[in-house]
Structure 1
Amino acid sequence: MRFARLGPVDRETPVVFAGDTAYDLRSITPDIDGAFLAGGGIARVRAALESGALPVLDGADDLRIGAPIARPSAVVCIGMNYAAHAAESGSAPPEIPIMFLKTPNTVVGPNDDVRIPRGSTKTDWEVELGVVIGERTSYLDSPDDALGRIAGFVTANDVSERDFQMAASGGQWSKGKCAPGFNPTGPWLVTPDEVDAGALRLRSWVNGEPRQDSSTADLIFDVATVIWHLSQYLQLEPGDLVLTGTPEGVALSGRFPYLAPGDVCEVEIEGLGRQRQRFVDPVPGIAPAAKPAEALGARA
């Protein structure tokens, strides 16, 4: 099944798609969130859809597409999980998964504008397979136990500011990952029965020109291993989002320019849908700040 949330920001309507038709889920749940996923919501929707009990959402084609999950309690990310991307970043492939965090307010609709942060010169794109957790997950015994904890999969763009991530990081990456809107998600949450997470094509484009083109078959640590590994260190909650890494072909490689105001980025994962973001200026009327690395240097 394909779940989505349609409508204005913070007032999205939860829907399920059957073919091209969107069915309104408000008789079952107020939102696609952790409580819905953990409480058997997917099974209830499946039964209601099969029985014909769900109404069609009129005018769905004209509505904004929101992120297919309500704001998660955590966004947990895996870095350098494709060997070729590690190489273009100047690093050896990791021996264990590298974890970093994004803040929940990075999660926005798949086609929403993304505002380039003040002082940014190196805003970058990263198409990634996102995993949505379906039940509380901690201390799994093996990777085999992980797949039953997954509610579904999403397309995600792990937008990054590389100067903030590297030069101003203090050794951590999250400063370059957490600007509001830096995680366009969706358009759909697709249930695991419709997805072969180990063989999905991932692609990205900037202004119509191809950038990334790879497959989740090239993951260093597959989805089950990632979820199992994370469960040894933190408790994943229903509705949490796990990003599994990006393949080669980003601006950090030096082969492409970084994003600038007016650029359009598109990312797509086979079976999970396509996104399109326009990158825009920092907040109007506020003078650009000094780049964080320069400001820190001035105080040293």
Structure 2
Amino acid sequence: MERVKMAEAESLETAAEHERILREIESTDTACIGPTLRSVYDGEEHGRFMEKLETRIRNHDREIEKMCNFHYQGFVDSITELLKVRGEAQKLKNQVTDTNRKLQHEGKELVIAMEELKQCRLQQRNISATVDKLMLCLPVLEMYSKLRDQMKTKRHYPALKTLEHLEHTYLPQVSHYRFCKVMVDNIPKLREEIKDVSMSDLKDFLESIRKHSDKIGETAMKQAQQQRNLDNIILQQPRIGSKRKSKKEAYTIFDTEIESTSPKSEQDSGILDVEDEEDDEE
């Protein structure tokens, strides 16, 4: 009797152990069931465990079948909806493809127009930048042209002032341009040219003075003598009457002496006439 009870107890323990192993197999990842299966093969109830496992598999199959039967109509409806969606998706795909083809065809002209606009904008920016640079360079060119005109007309001192102004004020603002570098390199040559031309003009002037020194000296002596005679006549006249009368009489006496000593030139006559007019206005 005790043996029967012990056998039943062992059978219950074995069944409980098998149930625990089955729960572990159902709830554990397949990569981690190695130790569980080893415990089955280590025991002596391998056959009974396999029977219990087959029973559990059949139970799960029946549950799956029931669940599939319960959801079969929904599955069929879902498949039908998917087929409809597939047809609509194909239509939508065709519409998108057609729209894309039309868009690509119409967009080519737009792309060409945008490219032309881009080029125009680039040219506009380049033109604006060029105009700004030219406006910056224009005063330099004007000053250089003015310098050339002054050198051509032999206005040497204004030319030197213009050259100095150009060198220290205008050229540093545009020194990174090639033509400005050429101007800077040419400035010493221009200054030397102005110096040479000035010296040449000075030598010509001195040579002209040397050639006409006799006439210049004669004219200077005559004017000095006339001035001394005029001063002597004014000092010898008695201080009677108005100052205007004395001055006119002095001029009259001076004219008489001039006519008696030397012929009166047109320039002397003009000077006396101008002085008489000034006296009359007083």
Bin for the TM-score computed over the shorter chain: under 0.3
Instruction: Flag the structure with higher strand content.
Output: 1
**Higher relative contact order by CA 8 Å / sep ≥ 6: 1 or 2?**
1
Report the structure number with the largest CA radius of gyration. Answer: 2
Q: Return the TM-score normalized by structure 2.
A: 0.14
Instruction: Flag the structure with higher helix content.
Output: 2
Q: Return the TM-score normalized by structure 1.
A: 0.13
